[in-house]
Amino acid sequence: MAHCCINPSILSADFANLQSELHKIRTADAVHVDVMDNHFVPNLSLGLPVVQRLQEVSPIPLDAHLMIEHADRWAPAYADAGLASVTFHAEASIAPVKLARELRARGAKAGIALRPGSAVEPFLDMLGELDMILIMTVEPGFGGQEFLDLTLAKIRRARAAIDASGLDVKLQVDGGITEKTIQRAAEAGADVFVAGSAVYGADDPAEAIARLRAAGRRPEQ
C-alpha cells in the first residue's frame, strides 16, 4: 500500500491553546498551517510571528499553506523560519519557478497550490522544481466546507503526470476531507491529506488521525 500522510489543519484548532493543540496531533505527519491575508481569500488567520512561534514549539513538522497575495515577496520568510514545507498559490505568484527554487534554497520543500477552478496543466512542466502540488478540494478561505467531487478529475490528471515524470512529488488535497471523502481522493491519486474538523472535531484526535490514515491508503500502482 502507498504511504498516506495526514496533515491536520490548525485552522480548526483552539487558537487560545495552540501549543497544547499541536500536541494533540503529534501522531500526524505534519501540521497544516493556513496563512490567510484577507485579500487573496476573504478571511484572516495566522501571520509570520505566530507561525515562527509554532515552529519553535511544534512536535511535528510545519506545512504552510500561504493563501496570500504577493507570494513571491512574502513566502521566502516562511522558509527562513525553518518550516519543513511552504506552499504558495499559483494564482498569487508572478514567477513560480523562481519562487520554488528560492524556497528550496532556503531549506524548505516547495509546493504549489491550485484553486478548484485552476487547471493543473500549465504547471506540469515545472514538476522538477516542486516537492508537492496542492489541489484545493474546496474554495480556499474557510474550514468546514464540503468536498468538491469535480476536483477528482484534476487529481487524476496530476497523478498521471507525476507518475509519468518519475519524480518524487507529493499530491496533497485540502478541503472537506473526512473518512468518506479521503477514499475518493486517494483512489484518484492523492497521497497527502489535510483534515481540519475531521481531526480537531473528534473526541480523540489521535484516533481520528489513525482512522483517516487507514482510509486514505491506496494500492501501489
Half-sphere exposure of 47 (CA within 13 A, CB side): 5
Q: CA–CA separation, 179 vs 31, rounded Å? A: 18
Rg (Cα) of the chain, in Å, rounded? 16
Pick the catalytic residue: 29, 63, 174, 191?
A: 174
| Cell numbers linked to 17 | 491553546
* Cβ pair 127, 97 in contact under 8 A: no
Pick the catalytic residue: 29, 34, 63, 191?
A: 34
- Whether 174 is a known active-site residue: answer yes
Q: Distance of CA 95 to CAs 3, 35, 71, 90, 98, Å?
A: 32, 20, 9, 9, 5
Catalytic positions, please? 34, 174
